[in-house]
Structure 1
């Protein structure tokens, strides 16, 4: 018969070793930072930067409209156990957050407290208040879809890194390493490997955004050896696009595109026949090739506008997890760039 693990026939070091192994396995779960996030973009960035040091809970699914979240009891339960709550801000949580917070006893994660981080507070505003609408629209506080701009994603990732480090300074080096790895990966995808090696990608992207003259754009691309998504979209700079909901202003700003209009006459307001007909006429006049559409938007409106205008619907991801193979934030950005470039290049 084989001796029992703790029998006298086993070496005396077996018990201490077994206890050590059990402790080593249990410790990370006990020490993990519990983080709640309004959207899948925030959830994904937290997992990328926090790694094994965080345990996340997301309030919504990638395919859903983040403006409308069902207030299940599990949301308050998770917030009561959380060390940190991440919110998009810019009004995206307006319809449900205040009501939810009234059911939460954990003051540490409420707005203004150490365990609350509103990533919308430091967004670089859209010029002219694009996406900011009259009362009762979804976006009366501004446009919250800034994560569709990779540069805003880099800023948000930096703020998440800093907040996680503030809450757990002993893991600061780990968070920094994870952040730097993510930043480099996204920088290379955005501007190409050569450019990412020598330039500050955020500063470069902002400089590139300001260029209007075609000759200046060409010179900039050559001088900085810009490749990646930014270089690829340069061929379509100034081209008009149409979307379903006003999701795409930040995306358009980053890649030099112009938003002609949206299928919705105002955010959250269903399209009318009159509005669609007027928009189709504008699309024909401007030779619009594409209609950007999110999975939760009613496709019959997209199909109508596409048929009438001749533009191609492009199945975009409005956040991580919205489409197949977009499970994390980087993959979402990659999907959108590749899908739209393919559509623009085929016309």
Structure 2
């Protein structure tokens, strides 16, 4: 499964290594930063929230680290990337909210400014979007999203930006709900057979075992136990050792993150689309969406850690751009088919 995932990653990376992709990402970044903001378009659209300064590189958040600041950063402890990963040798990942905040604001963590400057340098050096640029673009989109969807800028990614898309019809709420309802422990996910669920079995067991050990055996004080159990870190308990599930049709297995379809990809894409619309540019096309999928997949495709599979990313990105979950599935199937032909002779 890991070998096949590598094949689809390589195929997709080659697919978006083009001048068109370079131009698309460059425009997206310029729109996100506020370089192309169109005041006439904004006046016409009358968004609920508007930043005082359209140039978001002047904001405090641009030079501040945030909860995504370790995205794509090598984790020396696990050999993976990002804040955490779970493996056979390191099955316990709960370290508490305090540790998470310290780590994501530590020396290795990156500011949105650092991510954007790295991407800008790579885009200047190349006329196509090579693999390094794809990774840098995915990293920049995920980290800078916290700037774009901030209280002092364009507003919360879901309550304001996504809501405005629903109102304009540039994102279909029924499709976005499908992404949300695929998450672990949702009623819809639990209604599926144990072989088709995103909900992990091992993850929660390990989580509760670790809390029990710390509380009953190592006698950690109540405040530290509460920190380990903080609701902000709840997703960690759903992180599986590995997750392969039966596809909904029941005719085969697929790689999965165990975290459900990517609402993060949906939000990132909807922010890009929002920025384009506020700049008076055309909304994202399906070709533009494929490029964003390639960039996010370059970051998320690691064999452990909090990640999303290509299918989960594709669903999130297509829905975030106003298309459907089925569009994401159709894209994923075609990528798998093409990668199979290229690397395995069909």
TM-score, normalised via structure 1 length: 0.30
| Max Rg structure | 1
TM-score, normalised via structure 2 length: 0.30
| Greater strand content | 1
Greater RCO (Cα-Cα under 8 Å, separation 6 or more): 2
